[in-house]
Structure 1
């Protein structure tokens, strides 16, 4: 009932809302480079970081669960179960929705998804809105509304209760701040190096310079010089043009620093490493294998889950839990959970050792191990086993057994 009233209250103001999205379209000038979300994505390191984080989060299984007493089961009876697990709307799968929203957060600093409800307040779907077209506006009496647009450009006003808002790190509190905007100077250096490389090779791999006449020339000679120079510049762009010959009365002096002296490659490598640090992504995950070894990549993958993916998972879980469920539903045990098991799975040898110790120590049975490996249970494997060595250890420590019995009594 409450959700229904809020939903109806926001609709009459929709036509009156105006969207001021200039803040998100502004270009940040860093040196000679214009830094925006679109231009920054032209850097391969930025694109790789956004893709790695977005796709890693999107591939995690996401389910609605319900905890009753000491038992946890799937909350398939809740309307959000099918929406989150499979299809939040007609156009997107659960993977597409989460990948797109997370990429918006990593680019613009905020990801917005409207919760669609029927008249009874029940969830019917989730609709993502573009970050560049969405703002948070303060109305009268400390009331806030999200101003955005639909596909036809019509202005919409959405109450905070009906908007899932994932924020990047920022100091504004109610809004996240774009990582690209915060690190515009660092990204501007990368864009400048990229632009320099493009111009260098576009000119045939030759530095620019000044062509000057050795003697004073009249107007006709200057016109002839300009014509010849245009022909030379055109020939320099041809891959098979061969040597370029200048007239005898023309002197050429190189102006710019050659790439090897400007440390062009070193600058690009360093900038790539800095971008990975901005997004907290291990360098080897964006194909920077210069300092990676086989021994440390496995450990870095685990660190990636713990320190790169886990903070985003917590953000998503907490926001979904407080927006999708009423206080009554939360008290009834409903909650949303990402399953990180797939990303934390070790090598076959490591998993075999894990299952071995779990089964022989008696806290896991063989069917539970089969389920972890996506295999069907087998009759007779539900019994818990204890290794012979563990049994002998218990027999040789009667005092421990006696104390355990007394504690149980």
Structure 2
């Protein structure tokens, strides 16, 4: 696989960019300041994993359904094969939740999420099979774009664009998304380096490394005995709960490594979390960064998260699903996919009660419709639309303005 990539005549991301040793190294390892940053290694940074998990799980939990709009009325499109696949199980291995969660993780980690639409000879949709972004490549053969990928048995296969759901992160050429992790390899590499430094520091007992010196000249035999003593003491120190090391009086220890406080280790970790949250457009409190968080307006913060972070991804998914799953005739017949954001926008019991109160008394929701929103069974006699006395009086005055005189 690597040899094939090395001898390709084009870039791994942009066919118009010449492949060089430098950009190949950047593609494989990123620019993470000495730490090899890849989409896989980027997941190892706590802040990156938290952002990907929150976004992927938020999108995956949205109810997905096929709807149909005919003559201004919206009904459930359960007669379409895509309804079961999107709402329940797209394939034999995944539920709708796990498929969307996995695909969203691919998009946020690798920049592209691929799912193949399997159809019968009559064109009926049978299943939606996900494909790994590391094994899928958009290429041009004979003047036509195709997706080169592998099936479940590892055999190569070509998929036409009409049969491939391709959901992209922000990209440069309009055909491929760019991995947020690779795009910001320096910032993520800094976080990984700080995380690795912290592990090494505490693995060493929470003490900086240094150099041993003698206070006076010693013979070769004495020096060998000191080295042997130090090696045994270091092993005992590592395996012991007591982290105090006693050394002979004629030895002196001088620290070489900068103390974490001097290197602002804690501040670096906090800055890394803040930068990673900015990369994924994630509110800091959503990944448990609560240094500046206040909970006086938690409902408003949740709405802002849905509006500015989740909503763009919902639009991205819906538009790709609608243009690939349905034929032109089916779209003309009113079929479309809807990811319901109502669950994420659900307010507190007090806020919902106030909302329903105004909806019922203003006459644009019935009490049974409210019960449906709250997952309650309808009750006879509650389908009648109500209207408050004040609202009714205002309507009558508008209809008979002479009463105002």
State TM-score, norm by structure 1: 0.89
Q: Which residue of 2 aligns with 1:260?
A: 261
Aligned position for 1:135 = 137
2: CA distance between counterparts of 1:210 and 1:99? 50
Distance in 2 between residues matched to 1:271 and 1:242, nearest whole Å: 30
What corresponds to 2:176 in structure 1?
175
Structure 2 match to 1:88:
90
Matches within 5 A, 1:115-130: 115-130=117-132
* Counterpart residue number, 1:292: 293
Aligned twin of 1:246: 247
Q: Does the 8 Å CA contact 1:19/1:155 hold for their aligned counterparts?
A: no
Match of 1:73 in 2: 75
Aligned match of 1:193: 194
Q: What is the CA-CA distance between 1:70 and the residue it aligns to?
A: 1.2
Deviation per residue, 1:215-251 (Å, 9 max, x gap)? 4444434332321221232233234335322233322
CA distance in 1 between counterparts of 2:241 and 2:289 reads 34
Contact 1:62 1:337 in 2 (8 A): yes
- 2:112 matched to which residue of 1? 110
For 2:69, what is the secondary structure of its paired residue?
strand
Q: Quick one: distance in 2 between partners of 1:339 and 1:95?
A: 13
Q: Report the Cα offset of residue 377 of structure 1.
A: 1.3
Report the Cα offset of residue 331 of structure 1: 0.6
- Rounded Cα–Cα distance in structure 2 between residues aligned with 1:341 and 1:29: 40
Q: 1:257 and 1:145 mapped to 2: Cα distance?
A: 54
Q: Give the Å deviation of 1:382.
A: 1.2
Cross-structure match for 1:10: none
Q: Give yes or no for contact 1:138–1:145 (8 Å, CA) kept in 2.
A: yes
Deviations 1:379-407 (A, max 9, x none): 11111111122233445x3xx32369xxx
The CA distance in 1 between the partners of 2:241 and 2:394, in whole Å, is: 82
SS at match of 1:33: coil
The equivalent of 2:185 in structure 1 is 184
Secondary structure, aligned partner of 2:297: helix
Structure 2 residue 385 is matched with structure 1 residue 378: no
- Give, in angstroms, the shift of residue 188 of structure 1: 0.8
Deviation at 1:119? 1.0
Contact kept in structure 1, 2:205 and 2:243, CA below 8 Å: no
What SS class does the counterpart of residue 148 from structure 1 fall into? Answer: strand
1:48 maps to 2:50: yes
Contact 1:49–1:281 (CA under 8 A) maintained in structure 2: yes
Across the two proteins, how many residue pairs are aligned to each other? 383
Residue 400 (structure 2) pairs with residue 402 (structure 1): yes
Secondary structure of 1:172's match? coil
Residue in structure 2 matched with residue 390 of structure 1 by the alignment: 391
Match of 1:39 in 2: 41
With 26-35 and 278-287 compared, the bigger mean Cα shift is at 26-35
Counterpart residue number, 1:230: 231
Aligned to 1:156: 157
Deviates more, 1:40-49 or 1:235-244: 235-244
Supply the distance in 1 between the matched residues of 2:299 and 2:165 (Cα, whole angstroms).
Answer: 34
1:273 matches 2:271: no
Q: Distance in 2 between matches of 1:270 and 1:339?
A: 35
**The residue matched to 1:382 in structure 2 has which SS?**
coil
State the match for 1:27 in structure 2.
29
SS state at 1:374 partner: coil
Aligned to 1:98: 100
Secondary structure of the residue aligned to 1:295 is coil
Q: Is the 8 A contact 1:19 1:147 kept in 2?
A: no
CA root-mean-square deviation: 2.0
Q: How far, CA to CA, are the matches of 1:155 and 1:217 in structure 2? A: 69
SS of the counterpart of 1:65?
strand
Summarize the Cα distance change of 1:231–1:114 in structure 2 as closer, same or farther, 3 Å threshold. Answer: same
Residue 315 of structure 1 deviates from its aligned partner by: 0.6
Deviation at 1:112, TM superposition (A): 0.2
* Structure 1 gap ranges (5+): 1-17, 405-409
Measured after TM superposition, the shift of residue 362 of structure 1 is: 1.2
> What is the TM-score normalised by the length of structure 2?
0.90
Q: Deviations over 1:341-391 (max 9, x none)?
A: 111111111111111111111111111111111111111111111112223
Unaligned runs of 5+ in 2: 14-26
1:311 alignment partner in structure 2: 312
In structure 2, how many angstroms separate the alpha carbons of the residues matched to 1:342 and 1:83? 21
- Give the direction of change, closer, same or farther, for the CA distance of 1:347–1:31 in structure 2 (3 Å limit): same
